C-alpha cells in the first residue's frame, strides 16, 4: 500500500523566486482530518482540500497557495486524497485475477 504520492503540477506554484513543480502528498492520519467531513474530501470539496492539503504536502503548501492552484492540479490532488481514504478492498489494485 502506497502512503505517499508525487504529483507533477501542470502549473507550477510561485513562491518568491522559486517554483514548486512537484508535490508529495502523504496519507493523512485521523488527526490531520480534524475539522473536515470525510464525505466532503471524497467528493473533492475545494474548501475541505484547502484545509487538508497543507497538512499532508511536502513542501508544505499554505491554504492560500492551494486556493490559487490551477483547477487541474487541484483535481489531481483531490483524487489522490480521496484515494487515500478508500479501504483497500475497494481499490482496483486490490483485485487480483485468479
Q: Mean pLDDT over residues 88-96, rounded?
A: 64
59 vs 16: CA distance, rounded Å: 14
- The total number of structural domains in the chain stands at 1
Choose among 25, 31, 36, 32: nearest CA to 83: 25
For the CA atoms of the chain, what is the radius of gyration? 14
Instruction: Give the pLDDT of residue 74.
Output: 97
Residues linked to residue 70 through DSSP beta bridges, in sequence order? none
Domain of residue 75 covers: 4-94
Average pLDDT over residues 19-32: 95
Helix axes 46-56, 71-85, angle to 10 degrees: 70
Q: Are 21 and 9 in contact (CB under 8 A)?
A: yes
Please tell me whether the peptide bond between 59 and the residue prior to it is cis, using omega within 30 degrees of 0. Answer: yes
Section 69-77 average pLDDT: 96
Identify the pLDDT of residue 88: 79
Q: What average pLDDT does the segment 47-58 reach?
A: 96
Which has more pLDDT, 97 or 68?
Answer: 68
Amino acid at each position: 500500500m502506497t502512503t505517499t504520492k508525487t504529483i507533477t503540477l501542470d502549473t507550477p506554484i510561485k513562491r518568491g523566486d522559486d517554483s514548486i513543480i512537484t508535490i508529495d502528498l502523504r496519507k493523512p492520519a485521523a488527526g490531520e482530518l480534524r475539522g473536515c467531513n470525510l464525505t466532503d474530501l471524497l467528493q473533492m470539496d475545494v474548501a475541505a482540500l484547502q484545509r487538508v492539503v497543507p497538512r499532508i504536502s511536502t513542501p508544505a503548501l499554505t491554504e492560500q497557495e492551494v486556493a490559487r492552484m490551477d483547477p487541474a492540479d487541484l483535481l489531481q490532488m483531490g483524487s489522490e486524497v480521496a484515494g487515500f481514504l478508500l479501504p483497500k478492498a475497494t481499490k482496483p489494485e486490490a483485485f487480483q485475477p485468479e
